[in-house]
Amino acid sequence: MAREHHVAIAGATGAVGAEFLRILEDREFPLASVRLLASERSVGREIRFRGRDHRVELLSEGSFDGCDIAFFSAGASRSRAFAPAAVRAGAIVIDNSSAYRMDTDTPLVVPEVNPEDIDWHRGIIANPNCSTIIMLMAVAPLRSLAKLRRIIVSTYQAASGAGARAMEELLDQTARVLRKEPVTPVAFPHPIAFNLFSHNSSIDETGYNEEERKMILEARKILHDDGLKVTATCVRVPVVRAHSESINVEFDGARPSLDSVRETLNSFPGVALVDDVEHNHFPMPLEATGRDEVLVGRIRNDLSNDNAIDLFVSGDQILKGAALNGYQIALEWIRRGCPKGSAR
Amino acid sequence: MAREHHVAIAGATGAVGAEFLRILEDREFPLASVRLLASERSVGREIRFRGRDHRVELLSEGSFDGCDIAFFSAGASRSRAFAPAAVRAGAIVIDNSSAYRMDTDTPLVVPEVNPEDIDWHRGIIANPNCSTIIMLMAVAPLRSLAKLRRIIVSTYQAASGAGARAMEELLDQTARVLRKEPVTPVAFPHPIAFNLFSHNSSIDETGYNEEERKMILEARKILHDDGLKVTATCVRVPVVRAHSESINVEFDGARPSLDSVRETLNSFPGVALVDDVEHNHFPMPLEATGRDEVLVGRIRNDLSNDNAIDLFVSGDQILKGAALNGYQIALEWIRRGCPKGSAR
């Protein structure tokens, strides 16, 4: 029998932690036990999992004794504070925060794209930014056809990327607007109901915001391609939990045929082609919601550049954009024989 | 005293026609009379304008006797059927439909960009597509700094572009979704509440839809630049009445400095800079709603191409995207001495 694993979830009461639990509950995973960790505010809550109540415990340095796999989705500062303790306790950390993503000692993994990077971990494997994962699921497979040169991406990002409270704010605020009541944004800096705005992360001297920088730098790291040129414009839209992206991909030389692009995407695990020109049916966040696959469509030759193509994608931000990708990292780590990282 | 004009509005009961009436009512316009025209369905309705009720009459070939200016916003087929009769009756037609936009005998005008094209009209002046107008308000001014080479644009288009019923559908359907009731799209082919989808216009053999082709072809015509390269991805989002666009502009050679871009846009009539990096405050459809100006921000150098910059814009689809631009064409036509077009 396969070895069973003791799993800890740091941030178990958040949107991503809850989805991770749902995935563990619904799918075949060799699970010995699960420990639910969160901050002070949530301690003592009971969460039902596989037929019995689990008490939420305080996330602390001592939380990880006997733990094999620690999944972190409690924000970057908590990952920085507690992931090293989990590694010292002997666990592999799969970190959904941005804390370690660009750390040269930490692999950044989309299992369909760069599973082999798991082998050189030193205790922590980072889960990429949601927009990066969803973009790369559509773009990375194309490297088998031609070398990538440049990506120009504009995002349509769901409220879920800002957490469970932001999803509630979208729904509550929309109901208020429909009742013609005044609204006060809390989770977001601007009204989200029937509105959209530039991603509210900090902007540096280049004029790019943090989300856009993540897409650029993480794409290069995951693809092992420091020369890849990327420009991104990240926008929040009034959608609940699936991100969409309009992507222009320029190749280094002649673009591959659209037939070969469709064939390659269609056979890539984790991608579903939704490209029905006749019925005007293409990727939509509502249809991506709850699906493991990233939907890809509007595949066409760019009329403005002979080496480029255009694509449109939608993917569930909480699933492939976060919890599912983390779960798949754990599965792949097991499949590769649970490689131990050298301790930090 | 300035001569006063007899104005007819074909499509007076639609979203754009109603806005055109509101503009005529609120602003200084040398108006002698207004005639409200619509299809059978709306005939007999009374619409209050400047303190008295106006009866909606049937749009027909005989509707334009004594009319100086006929504003059409009743769809392309009605423009094709009745605009020639208006021209024969001696009116200048300002057509908001797509019917005559690419006709070589018809100027296609954004008054801030190519007012001089008004002079060669032959009875009809076409109002461009809303997404095209909003894009060009941000891009056209930059030609004074450097020659344009290529535009890569992804749109975030409001429901209003599909008419008054589509705006109602967005609001009604959203209320239903919040009450967890099933929804049946009518005005749109897909659910619009908390969703987005590729623009539902017909797709040709290039894979581009009609809205995208309009943006490409109309931009070239308005800018008198057949060599301009454009790729567009048009997307409908759950926003009521202002379009947004993420625009990458590549110049033919070195890009102008960001300071010169900001200065040029700031001094261009009809543009308002909203580019407050410190407060993460950029163009938003909610703030563009009801404003004459197209809002422009996120102005930054493209990190992936030394000759390109990125921009984000929002503009009221019914105002500058339609009725206001048509009104401004009328004003400019008057300012230029009401040039008579040679009859068709």
pLDDT tens per residue across span A61-104: 999 999 999 999 999 999 999 999 999 999 999 999 999 999 99
In terms of Cα–Cα distance, which of B16, B204, B207, B216 is closest to B101?
Answer: B216
B231 Cβ under 8 Å from any chain A Cβ: yes
Cβ pair B286:A194 closer than 8 A: yes
Q: Which residues of chain B have pLDDT under 50?
A: 344
- Are B57 and B14 in contact by the 8 Å Cβ rule? The answer is no
Name every chain A residue with its beta carbon within 8 A of the beta carbon of B306.
none
Contacts of A200 in chain B (CB under 8 A): 280
Whole-number Cα distances in Å, A344 to A9, A89, A104, A140: 21, 12, 12, 31
* Candidate from B152, B156, B230 with C-beta closest to A235: B156
Contacts of B282 in chain A (CB under 8 A): 197-198
Q: Of A194, A206, A285, which is closest to B303 when you measure between CB atoms?
A: A206
Interval A234-280: pLDDT, tens: 999 999 999 999 999 999 999 999 999 999 999 999 999 999 999 99
Q: What confidence category does residue A37 fall into, taking pLDDT thresholds of 50, 70 and 90? A: very high
The per-residue pLDDT for B341 is: 74
* Cα–Cα distances in angstroms (integers) from residue B25 to residues A270, B14, B20, B283, in the given order: 56, 16, 9, 28
Other CB atoms closer than 10 Å to residue A201's CB: what's the count? 16
pLDDT value, residue B65: 97
% of chain A with per-residue pLDDT over 70: 99
**Residue B163 CB neighbour total at 10 angstroms:** 16
Residue B342 pLDDT: 60
Q: Is A130 a catalytic residue?
A: yes
Q: Is A183 on the interface with B (CB under 8 A)?
A: no
Tell me the mean pLDDT in the region A134-152. Answer: 98
Length of chain A as a residue count: 344
Q: Are A311 and A251 in contact (CB under 8 A)?
A: no
Q: Mean per-residue pLDDT for A115-136?
A: 98
Contact A231 B277 (CB under 8 A): no
Which chain B residue has its CA at the smallest distance from A236's CA? B284
Q: Is B286 on the interface with A (CB under 8 A)?
A: yes
Q: Which of B150, B156, B174 sits opposite A196 (nearest CB)?
A: B156
Q: Is A120 on the interface with B (CB under 8 A)?
A: no
Catalytic member of B130, B224, B279, B281: B130
Amino acid at residue number B285: P
**Does B270 contact chain A (CB < 8 Å)?**
no
B49 touching chain A per CB within 8 A: no
Write down the pLDDT at residue A343.
52
Question: Which of B157, B194, B216, B226 has the highest number of chain A CBs within 10 A, making it the mutation to test binding with A?
Answer: B194
pLDDT at residue A342 in the model: 60
What pLDDT does residue B340 have? 87
Residue-level pLDDT at A152: 98
**Residue A2 reports pLDDT greater than 80:** no
Residue from A130, A234, A279, A281 carrying the catalytic annotation: A130
- Which tokens hold the place of B276? 């407050």
- Quote the pTM value: 0.97
